[in-house]
Amino acid sequence: MLYQQIARNRRKTAFLLIIFVLILVLVGAGLGYLISGKPYVGIIWALIGSAIYLLITLSNPANLVMSLNHATEIHEQDDPELWHIVEDMALAAQVPMPRVYIIDDPSPNAFATGRDPKHSAVAVTTGIRQQLNREELEGALGHELSHVKNYDILVSTIGVALAAVISFISSFASRFIWWGGSSKSDDKDTSPFEIAFKIIAIVFTLILGPLAATLAQMALSRNREYLADASSVKLTRNPHGLISALKKISNSQPMTKADSSSAGMYIENPFHKHGHLFDTHPPTEDRIKRLENM
């Protein structure tokens, strides 16, 4: 059951990334058609823009995310127990020891970030140190180190970059249309088919594309959480620690130091907002049920 779930979630992640790229291509094609009447021009610019944004984002994502979440780096002498648990989980996951950070917030939570296992970092709140016992902390940190091992930290960065580029294209297209731009606005011989195609391009580029990208990003985040839960059990051989940790975290108060753009990285939504369709995390009850069935 455990290995089947891991394999299934990896396939879903690959599928969602393909969907993400297809949305980017379609939105770029729509912009290209609106500006020049040539969809391939927009596709080229969308792919180039994504590549540039990814390079910038991946240059040092850990420092940026930790700064946004008011995290402070610590060393072994600052919290030996926490340090050794992270070290043990990293050893079990067969990844390099990540940098360790503390967020001064009473709500229990944790997250991992970075571009790859060699450049990763893990952050925990002061609340998680005070409220979770060692078994629960091992489950939570096993979850975060699984994100590192499975390259989820890279996947989330790619998802954020693609969503940002799609949002930019949509914003640019709306301004272009607002100012009366059109590749064929003065062409009186425009056929009904071309008019219909233009309307479809406008609707998709401005509304459906960004909405689809948001949904894909949320689905990608939720799928990664299931995968990390299963992988944490593989590392600790103890689903009860993570189950107990999730119950405590989900029943806590919202965080005050968390950055909204990083909400999807935490083990549980730090703001405890649950709207189902746009959730960054799957329902805690579903996660616990899957863990109990392992």
| pTM of the complete model | 0.75
> Sign of the CA dihedral 140, 143, 145, 151?
negative
Catalytic residue among 138, 144, 225, 268: 144
**Phi, psi for residue 156 in degrees, rounded to 5:** -65, -35
Q: Please, what's the largest Cα pairwise distance for the chain?
A: 76
Domains of the chain (ranges, CATH numbers): 2-59+153-210 (no CATH), 61-150+221-292 (3.30.2010.10)
Is residue 136 flagged as an active site residue? no
- The span from the CA of 235 to the CA of 140, in Å, is 11
Question: ∠274-272-213 over CA atoms, to 5°?
Answer: 55
The 3-class secondary structure across the chain, one letter per residue, is: CHHHHHHHHHHHHHHHHHHHHHHHHHHHHHHHHHHHCCHHHHHHHHHHHHHHHHHHHCCCHHHHHHHHCCEEEECCCCCHHHHHHHHHHHHHHCCCCCEEEEECCCCCCEEEEECCHHHEEEEEEHHHHHHCCHHHHHHHHHHHHHHHHCCHHHHHHHHHHHHHHHHHHHHHHHHHHHCCCCCCCCCCCCCHHHHHHHHHHHHHHHHHHHHHHHHHHHHHHHHHHHHHHHHHHHHHCCHHHHHHHHHHHHCCCCCCCCCHHHHHHECCCCCCCCCCCCCCCCCHHHHHHHHHCC
Q: Encode pLDDT of 197-247 as tens digits.
A: 677 777 777 777 777 777 776 777 777 888 899 999 999 999 999 999 999
Query: pLDDT digit string (tens) for 264-286?
Result: 789 998 987 655 555 678 889 99
Q: What are the 10-residue block averages of pLDDT along the chain, 294 residues in total?
A: 64 78 87 84 88 82 88 96 96 96 96 91 96 96 94 79 81 76 52 71 75 74 84 93 95 90 85 65 90 86
